[in-house]
């Protein structure tokens, strides 16, 4: 990538982040169903067409902060040591996602609670997280050096790990951030690991 292209990419990402932050703040103040795309655009100081060029919908404008998580998660998963079992690799690779919640707990809590309290946002967020599954499944297969058809077991493990993340974040948000998110994730993954161990030994 040339220097000019890199500068444009950085500038575009900055504009996208600014619009998303403005959309989120307006949604938090007035409620998701009480604002329009035009309201979001005005709050961000851009035109409606500009907002829709960066985001295809109101939901996407608010939820865009989560777009990079799947890419980071998959890259971290591929980089985990081959000797690790898959559950451990998935849990450790998830640290990059968890950092989002730990770096700015107040901000992450606010957007998480807004999502869980707004059915339209919650439904879209579940769809977004579900869409990570093929990427994580492919990362598990690549890490194992597999070629050809991907075993069903890897897809099931990727899906279970994502469910564990969703449940842990939901409980963390419901506690107003009082519960330890990492402890919740560890408990969830320990449960998954124990289920697998039981299945193997019975």
| 3-state class (DSSP) for residue 82 | coil
Q: Match 């998660």 to its residue by tokens.
A: 73
Last residue of a domain, one of 17, 41, 62: 62
Query: pLDDT tens across 135-160, in order?
Result: 999 999 999 888 888 999 999 999 99
Q: Does the pLDDT of residue 184 top 80, yes or no?
A: yes
- State residue 1's pLDDT score: 57
- State residue 198's pLDDT score: 54
Last residue of a domain, one of 62, 77, 100: 62
Query: pLDDT tens across 93-118, in order?
Result: 999 889 989 988 998 898 899 899 99
Query: pLDDT tens across 48-76, in order?
Result: 999 999 998 999 998 887 777 888 899 99
pTM recorded for the entire structure: 0.81
The total number of structural domains in the chain stands at 2
Torsion sign across C-alpha atoms 141, 147, 153, 158? positive
Picking from 181, 188, 190, the residue whose alpha carbon sits closest to that of residue 95 is 181
Q: Match 């890490």 to its residue by tokens.
A: 143
Are 72 and 56 in a shared domain? no
Last residue of a domain, one of 44, 62, 80: 62
Owning domain of residue 9: 3-62
Q: Does the pLDDT of residue 2 top 70, yes or no?
A: no
Cα–Cα distance measured from residue 30 to residue 52, given in angstroms and rounded to the nearest whole number:
20
| CATH number for position 120 | 1.10.357.10
Are 14 and 107 in a shared domain? no
Are 154 and 82 in a shared domain? yes
């Amino acid at each position: 990538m040339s220097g000019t292209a890199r500068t444009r990419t950085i500038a575009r990402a900055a504009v996208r982040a600014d619009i998303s932050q403005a959309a989120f703040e307006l949604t938090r103040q007035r409620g998701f169903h009480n604002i329009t795309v035009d309201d979001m655009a005005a709050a961000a100081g851009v035109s409606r067409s500009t907002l829709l060029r960066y985001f295809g919908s109101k939901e996407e404008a608010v939820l865009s902060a989560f777009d990079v998580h799947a890419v980071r998660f998959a890259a971290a998963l591929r980089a985990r040591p081959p000797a690790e079992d898959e559950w451990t690799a998935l849990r450790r690779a998830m640290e990059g996602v968890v950092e989002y919640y730990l770096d700015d707990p107040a901000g992450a809590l606010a957007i998480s609670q807004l999502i869980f309290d707004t059915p339209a946002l919650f439904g879209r967020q579940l769809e977004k997280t579900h869409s990570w599954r093929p990427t994580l499944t492919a990362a598990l297969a690549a890490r194992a050096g597999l070629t050809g058809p991907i075993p069903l077991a890897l897809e099931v493990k990727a899906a279970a790990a994502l469910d564990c993340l969703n449940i842990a974040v939901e409980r963390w948000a419901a506690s107003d951030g009082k519960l330890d998110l990492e402890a919740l994730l560890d408990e969830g993954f320990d449960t998954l690991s124990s289920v697998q161990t039981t299945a193997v030994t019975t």
